[in-house]
Amino acid sequence: MAFADPATGRVILDSGRGTVPGTVVLAEACKVGDVLGYSSGWKRALATVSSVIQGRLVALRGGATGESVPVSANPVVGGYTGATPGNPVYVAEGTDNGKITETIPATTNDATTVVGIALTATEVMFFLNSRADSLSA
């Protein structure tokens, strides 16, 4: 089965931040488990060259534009399907803002930073900001 990020039904299994996670104010709406980055405000990350927003944090709950939401750079998130344990994950490209993929973005200057690793077929451990930003050649 191929990896899929459903965008709905994701569950935060461990915030990685203890009982009081940090918060950010959203510049666009997001869902729980969306990867966020900063570009004139906190928005859903995207690997696509024309509008790269490098992943920095994971939303621990969904929220509307202007709302403050809890975030973490190293949560464990469940609710995915078809992941291969041990595989790295990347911010998705195209129109999949906030989602992740096991397929490394390949278009020149797409964001290719590893943002986490699949623990099981349904769970991903994130470690955002642990690596230098990278772009495909």
Domain boundaries, the chain: 11-126
Taking the whole predicted model, whether its pTM rises above 0.75 is answered as yes
- Judge whether 69 and 26 are in contact, CB under 8 Å: yes
Do residues 90 and 115 lie in contact, with contact meaning Cβ atoms separated by under 8 Å? yes
Bridging pattern class, strands 68-72 and 57-59? antiparallel
pLDDT in tens, 87-130: 999 999 988 899 999 999 988 999 999 999 999 999 999 999 88
**Average confidence score pLDDT of the chain:** 91
pLDDT-above-90 percentage for the chain: 68
Helices and strands, number each (H, E), in the chain: 0, 11
Reported as a single tens digit per residue, the pLDDT across 58-71 is 999 999 999 999 99
